[in-house]
Amino acid sequence: MRRGERAWIDYSHELRIQRNPVLRSTYLVLGVVCVAFGAIGVVVPGWPTTVWILVATYFFARSSPRFYNWLMNHRVFGPLIRDWRDGKGLSARAKGLAVTTIVLSIGTSIVLIPPVWAKPLLVVVAVTLCTYLLTLPTKPRTA
């Protein structure tokens, strides 16, 4: 294990695997789709990442120990999921980055989108998202 790397932990004891094979397969497919949407959010400004990854975690907890453990031990998504689950919230950096991304992407959309009626709607969406993010618990800084 490299310096600064976290040991792999088996989270299988947390799972509630669905017994119905059709439902279990459906949950698995939905989990994969949510991870794909979350990955899009890493690249596309304004597209949420956190929500999709949290929903994928829910689906994997009911369908696949392999994918659930992969997400929980992922170097980027794992801490986010574990902190959310433990009620620690988001880091100040994540909040700042999210709010900045929302303001820049929706601000650009307001300037570029021609319909006048869409501009107030975008402002309401931006204010709502930013307010929600800023009212979430902020994870304390660790030394």
CA nearest 6: which of 97, 81, 72?
72
Contacts of 102 (CB under 8 A, 6+ apart): 46, 126, 129, 130, 133
Q: Per-residue pLDDT tens for 4-48?
A: 667 888 988 888 899 999 999 999 999 999 999 988 988 887 677
Q: Using CA atoms, how far apart are residues 82 and 72, in angstroms rounded to an integer?
A: 7
The structural domains of the chain, with segments of one domain joined by +, span 12-85, 92-135
Contacts of 101 (CB under 8 A, 6+ apart): 45, 46
CA nearest 81: which of 115, 51, 116?
51
- What six digits make up the tokens of 79? 């801490």
Radius of gyration from C-alpha coordinates of the chain: 18
Query: Between vectors from CA 44 to CA 43 and to CA 49, what angle results, nearest 5°?
Result: 75
Q: What is the pLDDT of residue 119?
A: 92
Mean of pLDDT over the chain: 88
pTM of the predicted model as reported, rounded to 2 decimal places: 0.69
CA nearest 69: which of 133, 143, 122, 15?
15
- Residues of the chain with pLDDT > 70: what percent? 94
What's the whole-number mean pLDDT along residues 103-129? 90
